[in-house]
Amino acid sequence: MKNRERILIVGGGIAGLTAALELARQGLPSLLVEQREQVGGWAGTYTCKAVDGRCQKCGVCLVTDAVKEVQETREIEISLQTSVLDLRRDGGAFLGRFKKGEGETSGRFSAVMLCHGFEPFDPRQKSNLGYGRISNLVTGQELEEMLKEKGGPVRPSDGKSPRDLAFVQCVGSRNPSLGRGYCSQVCCGYALRMAKQIKANHPATRITFFYMDIQTFGRDFPRLFFELRDDIYWIREIPGDFYQAEGERVGVTVEDEGEIEDLAFDLMVLSVGMGPSDNERAFEEWLDLRRGQEGFLVSPGEGGIFLAGSASGPMTIPHTIAHTKATVSQVTDYLEERV
Amino acid sequence: MKGLPPQKCVVVLGDGETACQLSERLVKEGFPVLLLFTETRANVKIPEGPECLRGARVVSMTGQVGDFTLALDLEDERIERSIGFAVIAYESVREPVYDILGEPGHERVWTLSRAEAAIEETGPPPGVKRVILLDRLDGLNTTAGSERLLSLIAHLQEEYEIACCLITCQVKVASMGLEMLYGRVRDGGCFVARTDLLAVGLEPGAVKVRFDDVVLDEDLNTSADLLVVGESERPAPVLQQLGTAFGLETGPGGYLQSDNLLRSTCLTNRRGVLVANGSACGMNAWESSQSISAVVEEISGLSKWIVDQGPVEQILYDRDLCATCLTCFRVCPHGAIHFTDKPHFFPLACQRCGICTSLCPGEAIELSGAEKFLYQSRIFPEENGKGESPRITGFVCQRSADLVRRNGHENDSVLGGVNWVEVPCAGTLRTQYLLELLGRRQGADGVVVVSCHRDNCRSGDGTVRAVDMVHRVKGLLKTLEMDERVVTHIPLAPNEGNRLRREIALFREELNLKS
């Protein structure tokens, strides 16, 4: 490659980090821009879900590995707290303008990898969930952070360990009326892995699972599923209305085996799904991109613009890594043909 | 291979589309390809670019990435080829999820593969108006299987106006576009039943099914002209022999990739030996396509890495101390040791886990940069006049070392009080290091061994070896009627700084050490 223009990577989550590392392996330098104060993305805030010293294959630690490796790689420049002001084609290349702190910078790039990731579903969009009004009702992501910080589940209202907790699946997924007619692919995995860890560390905690269909994830799904089968109370229904029950418990009304029942839990977890990132609108306009039926941007796969990871649809961490590596092979093909 | 350019030829082994597509992609990238076919599947069009050998059986592959020697048996003749990389790309084998349906040859019971093929070639048999499709009912049906069933239903409904009923336990939709397809199929009139109990009656000319619908909570009966039984995947039988010939770990079900995310997407325990698609695990359509690209990307990256890396010696070997016991050869997780009258170490295959050094009974092997004398000075800093005798010594593997470097400075009351000794992998630790440490310092000292979690170690076995070693030391302490609690093992992921702090605090408490 004669041209030493760098490749622009937008987003420093697991997709952006993997992209930068793979490009560096191919001898290609990159600039990685990240809005936040640190790289790692959403997954960087999640908890390790190992049980009794055995990995449960959630992939969260791979982000930590990637952050470390990126920081040690010469070909990669990271620009934190940087947002993209403008990004346009310029002949066969791209011109970008960025805002970093108070200042503005710009650069010319041979190709663009959009790795801006996803936005978790905001349960406030569904008012009957009562999220934000009812105490001790948290999202799956909040539970991730709680387990990471505190080592176990606690009720936000009083800091006590819950005696019983329930997961509600498909919140903001598989719901065409919300414009989200897709499975988010990650929620069954994170919820069941966290359930397994909580059950192992706090065997007295009763766990209930509200669900439509349990999705397969990972290679040891059969083992995890069988191990949890009798440890969890399964209810094949997604409850609609949530209310504050006595003792700051979370109440729901469900129809279980033909009977209307009021159930209450010390802690309830909404397994929120993944949606397109808010950043997409700007890229869509600047680069003239198309959206797929599911609302995520579609990777053109040509012309120097590439999408990797959950920017192109819901994906697990291992899938994001695989997708990003596959995308980098398209990028190198593109650059070779361009010269 | 000193001074010689690495061998670029890639051997691809397979029996179907994956191997063909991969070969074509690699040829396009400029890699010479040797394609080894055993028996090919029907309808496989063999590409013209690569050299093709049929019916060859792999006997062994020795050497290291960029410089392998592949031994093959071809028509009673042993041949050897120089190879740079190897890709095992067999498709997985499909088999019906149920054999409860009587003889599989029943005219009204078809496997999913048969239905797919028949409909592609001739369309459904005349007179078929209703079809029941049956998926596995124990919750272990897969996304890949569900994808194929739903595609077939869409086809039957939309092209042939055939009424369909899908009987399953969990509708698996965790792949791009699958929920949409599921919606389309239901809008097209497909009845989807979720059940875990079913009775099937076969009569001439019709299939009758009775099941307990768990969502409607009702006993239902239905009948059809044809029953299509879904399929699950298992590894191709040839993988077992290939795994042995190539020296590979196996994963769940016998695939040639262990269930270790550090091997994603296409890596095995041997550098330069890769697995694609149905040789790594069962995959859906999206995963297979990523898998093929990931292999191409990996080979291209590795071929650059070999040139940059050069021949760096990783292992220091002392022939005088070697008892030629073959232990190192046996325990190396990466196929990096070859044994003739003495061990040979392949530097490009070595991944610096140090397991060979820790288990060598003669201490004949050392890992460069992690030699015993270096540990001595780190374990006993006071003997070099550096600092006081530490009360707790912590061995921490490279992967988590950043955690203690970041948090382990002196003003950290919990982690700072520990003398952290970094090791390349917890598997590198010798029993003697711990015994010496405990023997030389009487009293309240504690030893912590921090490793990765099981199934999450770069070398696969590092954690297991570390756990064994800690058990051995504890056993010895018990025999000597000493307090075995002074030694502990903490499995840790590199993002578990908070937990490490909690575990160390607990350990201190147990030893009654003030922080």
Tell whether B455 is within 8 A of chain A (Cβ): yes
Give B465-510 pLDDT, tens digit per residue: 999 999 999 999 999 998 899 999 999 999 999 999 999 999 988 8
Tell whether A321 is within 8 A of chain B (Cβ): yes
B324 plus B283 within the same structural domain: no
Instruction: Give the helix/strand (H/E) hosting B143.
Output: helix B143-160
Contact of B304 with A26, CB cutoff 8 Å: yes
B246 plus B156 within the same structural domain: no
B491 plus B384 within the same structural domain: yes
The model's confidence at residue B1, banded by pLDDT at 50, 70 and 90, is: very low
Structural domain including B223 reads 94-231
Strand order in the sheet with B33-37: B51-54, B33-37, B10-14, B85-89, B273-275
Q: Which of residues 76-135 of B touch A (CB under 8 A)?
A: none
Distance from CA of A96 to the nearest CA of B (A): 27
CB contact under 8 A, A182 and B294: no
Mean pLDDT of B172-194: 95
CB contact under 8 A, A53 and B463: yes
B65 plus B15 within the same structural domain: yes
Q: Which of A292-306, B69-83, B252-266 has the lowest mean pLDDT?
A: A292-306
The residues spanned by each domain of chain A are 6-117+277-338, 121-273
Which CATH number does the domain housing residue B241 bear?
A: 3.50.50.60
- The C-alpha atoms of residue B163 and residue B161 are separated, in whole angstroms, by 6
B202 exposure class (CB count in 10 Å sphere: 0-12, 13-18, 19+): middle
Residue count of chain A, please give it: 339
B217 plus B267 within the same structural domain: no
The model's confidence at residue B5, banded by pLDDT at 50, 70 and 90, is: low
Give B34-62 pLDDT, tens digit per residue: 999 876 666 777 888 899 998 899 999 99
B271 is a domain residue = yes
pLDDT of residue B384: 62
- Does B232 score more than 70 pLDDT? yes
- The C-alpha atoms of residue B446 and residue B435 are separated, in whole angstroms, by 11
> Number of C-alpha atoms within 13 angstroms, CB side, residue B130?
12
pLDDT of residue B65: 95
CATH number for the region A6-117+277-338 comes to 3.50.50.60
Give B301-311 pLDDT, tens digit per residue: 999 999 888 77
Q: Hey, of A48, A236, A237, which one would you mutate to test binding to chain B, going by the most B CBs within 10 A of its CB? A: A48
Q: Hey, of B167, B259, B495, B498, which one would you mutate to test binding to chain A, going by the most A CBs within 10 A of its CB? A: B495
- Count of structural domains within chain B: 4
Tell whether B173 is within 8 A of chain A (Cβ): yes
B294 plus B363 within the same structural domain: no
B428 plus B484 within the same structural domain: yes
Give chain A's residues under pLDDT 70.
1-4, 339
Structure tokens at B56: 């060859």
- The C-alpha atoms of residue A8 and residue A11 are separated, in whole angstroms, by 10
Percentage of chain B exceeding pLDDT 70: 93
B81 plus B126 within the same structural domain: no
Tell whether A167 is within 8 A of chain B (Cβ): no
pLDDT of residue A1: 41
- The C-alpha atoms of residue B291 and residue B267 are separated, in whole angstroms, by 11
Domains A6-117+277-338 and A121-273 share a fold: yes
Please report, for residues B1, B279, B392, the alpha-carbon distance to residue B414 in angstroms, rounded to integers and kept in the order given.
49, 46, 11
- Does B348 score more than 90 pLDDT? yes
B1 is a domain residue = no
Tell whether A92 is within 8 A of chain B (Cβ): no
B4 is a domain residue = no
Tell whether A188 is within 8 A of chain B (Cβ): yes
Mean pLDDT of B118-132: 92
- The C-alpha atoms of residue B394 and residue B448 are separated, in whole angstroms, by 5
Q: Which residues of B touch A332 (CB under 8 A)?
A: 297, 300
B333 plus B282 within the same structural domain: no
B401 plus B505 within the same structural domain: yes
Mean pLDDT of B121-134: 92
- Which one has a higher pLDDT value, B2 or B299? B299
B116 plus B21 within the same structural domain: no
Which residue of A lies nearest to B144 if distances are taken between CA atoms?
Answer: A216
B411 is a domain residue = yes
The model's confidence at residue B515, banded by pLDDT at 50, 70 and 90, is: very low
B423 is a domain residue = yes
- One of 3.20.20.70, 3.30.1540.20, 3.50.50.60, 3.40.50.720 is the CATH number of A121-273, namely 3.50.50.60
Tell whether A200 is within 8 A of chain B (Cβ): no
Tell whether A91 is within 8 A of chain B (Cβ): no
Q: Which of residues 2-21 of A touch B (CB under 8 A)?
A: none
Which residue of A lies nearest to B499 if distances are taken between CA atoms?
Answer: A151
pLDDT of residue B44: 78
Mean pLDDT of B85-93: 96
B31 is a domain residue = yes
Tell whether A68 is within 8 A of chain B (Cβ): yes
B20 is a domain residue = yes
B431 is a domain residue = yes
Give B261-299 pLDDT, tens digit per residue: 999 889 999 999 999 999 999 999 999 999 999 999 999
The model's confidence at residue B442, banded by pLDDT at 50, 70 and 90, is: low
Tell whether B142 is within 8 A of chain A (Cβ): yes
Give A73-105 pLDDT, tens digit per residue: 999 999 999 999 999 999 889 999 999 989 999
The model's confidence at residue B404, banded by pLDDT at 50, 70 and 90, is: confident
B261 plus B346 within the same structural domain: no
CB contact under 8 A, A219 and B298: no
Please report, for residues A177, A330, B51, B58, B348, the alpha-carbon distance to residue B47 in angstroms, rounded to integers and kept in the order given.
47, 21, 9, 21, 32
Closest C-alpha among A316, A11, A47, A84 to residue A187: A316
Mean pLDDT of B19-47: 87
Q: Which of residues 314-373 of B touch A (CB under 8 A)?
A: none
Q: Which segments of chain A does DSSP mark as H helices, in order?
A: 14-25, 60-71, 140-150, 187-201, 221-229, 280-287, 317-338
Distance from CA of A98 to the nearest CA of B (A): 30
- Does B444 score more than 60 pLDDT? no
Tell whether A54 is within 8 A of chain B (Cβ): yes
Closest C-alpha among B414, B400, B412, B417 to residue B489: B400
